[in-house]
């Protein structure tokens, strides 16, 4: 196992454990769906995703960055920027691209069919962060690999971005509370759990907002920022209208959901 894989897995399970403990100690909402069935399904989807990425993409985005560096391809392998500047610019470009991709997955009907599997979860907790349909993951991997080649992003920037994105996704899907002052300060820069919870509202006007996963700046800049859910964090309904039964907790239902009206 490579050092990068060990770091990734370590951060993943470390952050996962911290958020689970936080959810137990200071939960924001009472969960509505059967927890273990939901968890089993969300984990199963995530394992299918991981195996699919491994089989189809091998070294994926990090491999693409190493390949581009070796061949001298892409913007930052041509420009003579200092290493730190290429790192920061690549990180920001990747974060903006993920924001834009998320918005496109909401606006294009065939892509929304895939992405709504994520939104069908009737509760929001750390396992929602790993609930993405395998076809959405595959498409997003293709885009990311293309972008990494075009940018000539440094290998370190791609690794850092993927590790941070993974950790931040678990953080901002967490069913957690924190002091209001801390939350307000954090969301000036980062996407907080309260900010992302708005994005999981059944109300389309609310779930077509707050597309960011890491930095909150993109939503503020492009007018897609919604500060709070109209019905409050405990009064709002999470999930999709018409999917408020046990369907989303089942693996078969979730994987075949893109094919249904
Ligand atoms: Zn979304
Ligand atoms: Zn989400």
DSSP string computed for 3-56: HHHHHHHHHHHHHHHHHHHHHHHSBSS---S-HHHHHHHHHHHHHHHHHHHHHH
Question: What's the pLDDT band for 261 if we cut at 50, 70, 90?
Answer: confident
The SS3 of residue 252 is: helix
Residues linked to residue 83 through DSSP beta bridges, in sequence order: none
Q: Which ligand is nearest to the CA of 105?
A: 1
Task: For tokens 């907080």, name the residue.
Answer: 192
pLDDT of residue 156: 93
Nearest bound ligand to the CA of residue 115? 1
pTM of the model: 0.94
Q: Say what the pLDDT of residue 239 is.
A: 96
pLDDT above 90 covers a percentage of the chain that reads: 85
Q: What is the mean pLDDT of the chain?
A: 95
Q: What is the pLDDT of residue 59?
A: 78
**Degrees, nearest 5: CA angle 93-258-52:** 60
**Cα 144 off chain centre by:** 13
The contacts of residue 108 (CB under 8 Å, 6+ apart) are none
C-alpha 62 to ligand 1 mean position (Å): 25
Distance CA 74, CA 148 (A): 8
For residues 236-249, average pLDDT: 94
Q: pLDDT tens digits, residue range 141-173?
A: 999 999 999 999 999 999 999 999 999 999 999
Q: What is the pLDDT of residue 190?
A: 97
Distance 100 CA to ligand 1 centre (A): 11
| Per-residue DSSP letter, 201 | B
Distance 207 CA to ligand 1 centre (A): 7
The predicted-structure confidence for 8-39, as pLDDT tens digits, reads as follows 899 999 999 999 999 999 999 999 998 999 99
Query: Ligand 2 centroid to 85 CA: how many Å?
Result: 30
CA of 57 to the centre of ligand 1 (A): 24
- How many angstroms does the Cα of residue 115 sit away from the middle of ligand 1? 6
Query: Is the four-CA dihedral 217, 119, 240, 24 of positive or negative sign?
Result: negative
Give the tens place of pLDDT for each residue, 177-222.
Answer: 999 999 999 999 999 999 999 999 999 999 999 999 999 999 999 9
pLDDT of residue 229: 97
- Span 92-110, average pLDDT: 97
Write the pLDDT tens digit of every residue in 33-76.
Answer: 989 999 999 999 999 999 999 898 877 888 889 888 888 898 98
């Amino acid at each position: 196992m490579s050092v990068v894989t060990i770091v990734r897995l370590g951060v993943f399970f470390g952050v996962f454990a911290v958020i689970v403990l936080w959810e137990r100690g200071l939960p924001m909402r009472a969960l509505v769906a059967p927890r273990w069935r939901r968890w089993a399904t969300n984990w199963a989807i995530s394992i299918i995703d991981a195996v699919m990425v491994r089989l189809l993409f091998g070294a994926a985005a990090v491999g693409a960055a190493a390949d581009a560096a070796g061949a001298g391809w892409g913007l930052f392998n041509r420009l003579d920027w200092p290493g730190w500047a290429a790192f920061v610019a690549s990180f920001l470009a990747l974060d903006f691209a993920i924001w834009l991709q998320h918005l496109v997955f909401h606006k294009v009907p065939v892509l929304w069919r895939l992405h709504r599997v994520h939104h069908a979860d009737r509760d929001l907790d750390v396992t929602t962060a790993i609930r993405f349909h395998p076809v959405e993951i595959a498409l997003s991997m293709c885009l990311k690999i293309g972008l990494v080649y075009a940018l000539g992003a440094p290998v370190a920037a791609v690794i850092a971005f993927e590790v941070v994105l993974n950790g931040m996704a678990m953080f901002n899907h967490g069913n957690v509370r924190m002091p209001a002052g801390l939350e307000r300060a954090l969301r000036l820069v980062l996407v907080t759990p309260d900010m992302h919870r708005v994005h999981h509202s059944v109300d389309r006007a609310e779930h077509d907002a707050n597309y960011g996963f890491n930095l909150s700046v993109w939503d503020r800049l492009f007018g897609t920022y919604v500060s709070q859910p109209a019905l409050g964090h405990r009064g709002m309904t999470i999930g999709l209208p018409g999917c408020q039964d046990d369907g989303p907790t089942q693996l078969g239902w979730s994987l075949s959901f893109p094919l249904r009206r």
